[in-house]
């Protein structure tokens, strides 16, 4: 199983979207971003990329 690793490969993101978070999830993400000296946005992008790269394959793509 691959582990999540913080890096800067997604720093050039330029598509703006609005996303709503629950308060507990927002706090957890904010703390992780702060602890790793990266922006909240960069962490969310990396979480999304990690989730997509590690999704189980299905016939409904």
**What tens digit of pLDDT does each residue of 4-59 get?**
776 667 777 889 999 999 999 999 999 999 999 999 999 999 999 999 999 887 65
Residue owning tokens 């990329």: 49
Q: Looking at residue 4, what is its pLDDT?
A: 72
Helices vs strands, H then E, count in the chain: 2, 0
pTM of structure: 0.77
H helices of the chain, in order, are 23-35, 40-53
């Amino acid at each position: 199983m691959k582990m999540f690793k913080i890096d800067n490969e997604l720093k050039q993101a330029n598509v703006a979207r609005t996303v709503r978070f629950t308060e507990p999830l927002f706090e957890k993400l904010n703390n992780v971003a702060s602890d790793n000296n990266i922006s909240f946005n960069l962490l969310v992008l990396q979480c999304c990329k990690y989730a997509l790269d590690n999704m189980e394959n299905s016939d409904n793509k």
